[in-house]
Amino acid sequence: MSEKKIKVKIITHEKVVFDGEADEIYAKGYEGSFGILPDHTPFMSALAIGVTKIVNDNVATYFSTIGGILQFMNNEAVILSEDAENGNNIDLAIAKAEKEKEEARFVNPQTLKEIQQTDKALAIAISRFKAASSEM
């Protein structure tokens, strides 16, 4: 593993959720999941609702990230997200119950608006559950 680190910030409208270093970052974009290592080519990506994994010194931390943008340049990554939570701060039992509730609601939406709302709510519930479960 390289001695170089990536400076990472995960920011929402309300707070800085994470400010630290990483050896690796994994996130979910609209074109699929991707990973970043030190000295990666600069880029920017829109993020889908999903899990962002930050690995530092072989310890992985999982974050539920609700969309946003990831910008990477000069070994600095900034994630601006609508909402984000550290998986360690999410109650797994509550997240599982929320996921199951949204899965049940998703079975029979009536209107396009209901489909869109249920789809987003289910994606958020799954993201929170996966982050709390320490999985991507």
Mean residue pLDDT of the chain comes to 94
**What is the domain-level CATH number for residue 83?**
2.60.15.10
Kind plus residue range of the DSSP H or E element containing 19: strand 16-22
**What is the domain-level CATH number for residue 114?**
1.20.5
> Residue 1's pLDDT band (boundaries 50, 70, 90)?
very low
Residue 54 Cα distances to 36, 95, 109, 119, 130, angstroms: 10, 20, 35, 26, 14
Same domain, 62 and 95: no
Q: Which domain, by its residues, includes 119?
A: 90-132
Same domain, 59 and 98: no
pLDDT tens digits, one per residue of 49-98: 999 999 999 999 999 999 999 999 999 999 999 999 999 999 999 999 99
- Residue 1 resides in a domain: no
> Residue 113's pLDDT band (boundaries 50, 70, 90)?
confident
Stated pTM of the model: 0.91
Domain count, the chain: 2
> Residue 2's pLDDT band (boundaries 50, 70, 90)?
low
Identify the CA nearest to 78 among candidates 14, 2, 20: 20
Residue 46: both structure tokens together: 């829109």
Same domain, 78 and 106: no
